[in-house]
Amino acid sequence: MIQNHEIDYRIFGEEMQYVEVELDPNESAIAEPGAFMMMDDGITMETLFGDGSQQQNSGGLLGKLLNAGKRVLVGENLFMTAFTNVAQGKRHVSFASPYPGKIIPLNLQQLGNRIICQKDAFLCAAKGVSIGIEFQRKLGTGLFGGEGFIMEKIEGDGMAFLHACGHVLKKDLQPGELLKIDTGCIVGFTSTVDYDIQFIGGIKNTIFGGEGLFFATLRGPGTVWIQTLPISRLAGRILQYATTSRREEGSVLGGLGNLLDGDGWR
């Protein structure tokens, strides 16, 4: 039985993408605050406490509070916005990614009705899709997971959309196949994938590795979506350049100094 609203969509753009969702009369889409871009006349907006799914509403007031409160743990907002077509014909609403990268459309019905993703990856979905948290219970993950310790889970049988930074690679893992990956490069994976954190042993790795002491391990079967540029890495580099004193034209090296460190090519 279909519980989620069935929506059609189109994705526009290359590096700065947005998704246009087509709503039939009385159909709705939900999105995080700040994802909205534009909409046709005839669409109403309603603030929801939580995600508005049947799963969230099934436990009464206490259930709503608990489910919405869990979203705070993954850095998300307590509220979502529902966009509903109250007109007679089809209407469109568009949502934009908050940083350069790609939007990933996911048909949950074809993906086992459940996706695990990074806590900031969700963009929008058909109304009825549930967005909650996924605790990783393994010892290694619990101690060293960092950002990967608490992840989001997206459940339902409708369309959901994730956004990622940089280029996106979709990789299908065979049963038992192991992938070692930087935790920030994971966008999401199907629920059949086994996820854990592994220590990088060896004194050389510890001192000179530069990539940290831990990485994620993903074991198949299942599908993994990977981003080339974690937003935390991009933000860290921007912050580094914004807070560092640089030798400008008045210094001894002047423009040559900037050319040598890669800043001269504009």
The Cα 55–Cα 71 span in angstroms is: 14
Instruction: Give the model's pLDDT for residue 79.
Output: 78
Residue 16 has pLDDT above 80, yes or no: yes
The closest of 166, 163, 157 to 1, measured between CA atoms, is 157
pTM of structure:
0.78
Instruction: Give the model's pLDDT for residue 38.
Output: 97
Residue with tokens 């700040």, as numbered in its chain = 34
- What is the separation, in whole angstroms, between the first and last Cα of the chain? 56
How crowded is residue 109: how many other Cβ atoms within 10 Å of its Cβ? 14
Q: What tens digit of pLDDT does each residue of 189-235 get?
A: 999 999 988 766 655 655 555 555 678 899 999 999 999 988 777 77
3-class SS at 199? Answer: strand
Domains for the chain: give ranges and CATH numbers.
8-244 (3.60.160.10)
Q: Which pLDDT band, with edges at 50, 70 and 90, does 147 fall under? A: very low
Whether the CB-CB separation of 3 and 156 falls below 8 Å is answered with: yes
Residue with tokens 């889409």, as numbered in its chain = 29
CA atoms within 13 A of residue 83's CA, in its CB half-sphere: 28
Determine the average pLDDT of the residues in 19-25.
96
The Cα 67–Cα 7 span in angstroms is: 25
More confident residue, 138 or 225: 225
Q: What tens digit of pLDDT does each residue of 84-121 get?
A: 999 999 999 999 988 888 999 999 999 999 999 988 89
Q: Which pLDDT band, with edges at 50, 70 and 90, does 242 fall under? A: confident
Tell me, letter by letter, the H, E, C secondary structure of 25-36. Answer: CCCEEEECCCCE
Instruction: Give the model's pLDDT for residue 108.
Output: 95
Instruction: Give the model's pLDDT for residue 93.
Output: 97
How crowded is residue 59: how many other Cβ atoms within 10 Å of its Cβ? 12
Mean pLDDT for the chain? 78
Residue 161 has pLDDT above 50, yes or no: yes
